[in-house]
Amino acid sequence: MTTPPQVSFVTITEDQAGQRIDNFLLTYLKGVPKSHLYRIIRSGEVRINKARCLVNDKVQLGDIIRIPPIRVSETSQINKIIPAATFPIIFEDDYYLIINKPHGVACHGGSGVSFGVIEQLRQAKLYKFLELAHRLDKETSGILILAKKRLALVELQEQMKKNQITKEYFALTLGAWRDEKRNVKAPIYKYTNKDGERRVRIDQELGQFSHTIFTLKKKYAEFSLVNADLQTGRTHQIRIHLQYLGFPIAGDDKYGNFEQNKLLAKQGLKRMFLHAHHVKFMHPMTQQTLEVNCPLAPELASFLSKLS
């Protein structure tokens, strides 16, 4: 017998304060698809202190959140199909969990994805609190930071907004680079295509300021291995900036060379060659510099050895 759906009102506690309303609902309504949560926020069914809200509005201590009817049976069914999982740990303390995310695994559910890293880790029930501090594309591997306490999450995300965190990626591009270093400042505009997929493009009028520093690491006959140092953190930033330069990422199925990708798959590269390998920031709780590195995924290292 299922619980009849009804409107509920939740008062924000100190531990919940400071987060975006969409992230609060993702935690509070575990298992409900992100697309559905966005829909009820945008339709005005979710309210903060009786007022309509936007997905990026932040909740504060004592706020009263109106949540429309959500069928408990639907939520329970979704939760049952999420397999618990753990991932290789690079660093862990009382405040952060830093893992090596494999390619092909989304960071979170939504947009046609039933579940991701965060849902699987929560299902394992190893942590009382766990939230993504940032995100990686599904096909990107490497360093992913999760927060184990609300304050640790808020403080780190504040550093990210101020561009105080070093985040570096290795990317293998098509074509041979001439310059040792390239500063790319090309504004990025985010949109949704007719199939409902998130996409971005370079748009001088509508785009947001975006900055990536690329450094050539190694040249191959038809490829170049570059280091991408993010100065801003826009959706698909590295991918679209490299396409903009005329050097798309090998294996990129959204902004790459699709015919070349088919040939690469036959040669052993069956994924996008983008890997988060280095992160450095001041630990906001200990005030010590925290630096982590993550070697290339085995399949990427293997492909490079073939090129050599």
- Rounded alpha-carbon distances, angstroms, from residue 57 to 29, 61, 68, 207: 17, 13, 18, 21
Q: How wide is the angle at C-alpha 145 spanned by C-alphas 140 and 148, nearest 5°?
A: 145
Q: Say which of 22, 63, 137, 252 is annotated catalytic.
A: 137
Angle between helices 21-28 and 34-42 (to 10 degrees): 130
For 187, the 3-state DSSP assignment is coil
Residue in 31, 30, 41 with CA at minimum distance from that of residue 67: 41
Give the alpha-carbon dihedral of 14, 117, 162, 20, to 10 degrees: -40
Amino acid, res. 91: F
Question: Does the active-site annotation cover 22?
Answer: no
Residue 2 — left, alpha, or beta (φ > 0 → left; ψ -120 to 50 → alpha)?
beta
Residues taking part in catalysis: 137
